[in-house]
Amino acid sequence: MVSSDVTRNVLGVIGNIISVILFLSTMPTFYRIWKKKSVERFSPLPYLVTFVNCGLWVFYGLPLVRPHSLLVSTTNGAGFVIEFVYLLIFIFYSDHKKRIKVLMALLVEIIFLGVLIVLILTLVHTTKLRSTIVGGISIVGNIMMYASPLSVMKMVITTKSVEYMPFLLSLFCFANGLCWFAFALIRFDPFVAIPNGIGALCGLAQLILYATFYKSTQEIMARREEKSELVLESVVASTSPNDGR
């Protein structure tokens, strides 16, 4: 019979893999940004929230804070680096006004993480209390990460288009939340279970929205493409030399 610790470790490894895939799932979005040299209508909020959330969980999973939870630190350490790269790309291709806003938000997050780490390690002297404080703050960060696409979900409902809500991000948000929820139930850890249970529900809601508005999105994009072709043909016709008649 497989022990609960082995099962927990297996789920932790699977959770690490899914989490890294989750962090990498927005690569097509950033390829599009790079190709078009513009962030268009994409929001920086999910990446800002995920960045600070990963920083919190890296700290939480360290033996100095929460013993036997190093798998939490490893997966979020990868996410921390990946999200930082995403934010640098986002900043580079933003207009001046948005660039300043994202830079300021990123700076505030880095200062917040630094101050929190110093305060916890110098003023709190037991792992039980450290994990309670950092875990409580991390719950808020994790819920914010999973809820950050809500503004995009509102836009999806308004426009009836999922163009700016990446499917892979929604899919792996659901899978990631579900896996870490199961991980936290084995050796019960409410700080991991609560936000990831909510995260799984948020991911499911996004998938339902995607299924609901996928067809209308294709129709909207097809009409836009057709309109662009008509405009292009009109421009070509107006700039062509006359045939001498």
Q: When comparing pLDDT for 51 and 2, which is higher?
A: 51
**Cα radius of gyration rounded to whole Å, the chain:** 22
Question: Does some domain include residue 242?
Answer: no
Question: Does some domain include residue 243?
Answer: no
Question: Does some domain include residue 33?
Answer: yes
Domain of residue 10 covers 4-237
DSSP letters of 31-86?
HHHHHHTS-TT--SHHHHHHHHHHHHHHHHTSTTTSTT-HHHHHHHHHHHHHHHHH
Question: Does some domain include residue 116?
Answer: yes
- Model confidence at 223, in pLDDT bands (50, 70, 90)? confident
Report the share of the chain in percent with pLDDT over 70: 89
Distance CA 79, CA 133 (A): 22
Amino acid at 225: E
Q: State yes or no: pLDDT of 197 exceeds 80.
A: yes
Distance between the two ends of the chain, CA-based, in angstroms? 90
Number of domains in the chain: 1
Question: Does some domain include residue 245?
Answer: no
Confidence (pLDDT) at 110:
95
Compute the average pLDDT of residues 127-139. Answer: 89
pLDDT digits (tens, 9 = 90+) for 50-99: 899 899 989 998 999 988 778 788 888 988 999 999 999 999 999 888 89
Distance CA 206, CA 209 (A): 5
Q: State yes or no: pLDDT of 121 exceeds 80.
A: yes
- Sorted by sequence, the CB contacts under 8 Å of residue 217 that are 6+ apart come out as 160, 161, 162, 163
Confidence (pLDDT) at 108:
95
Question: Does some domain include residue 27?
Answer: yes
Q: When comparing pLDDT for 230 and 125, which is higher?
A: 125
Q: When comparing pLDDT for 226 and 47, which is higher?
A: 47
Compute the average pLDDT of residues 201-205. Answer: 87
Which range is least confidently modeled, 36-50, 56-70, 217-231?
A: 217-231
Question: Does some domain include residue 50?
Answer: yes
Residues 8/69, Cβ–Cβ less than 8 Å:
no
pTM: 0.69
Q: State yes or no: pLDDT of 243 exceeds 60.
A: no
Question: Does some domain include residue 86?
Answer: yes
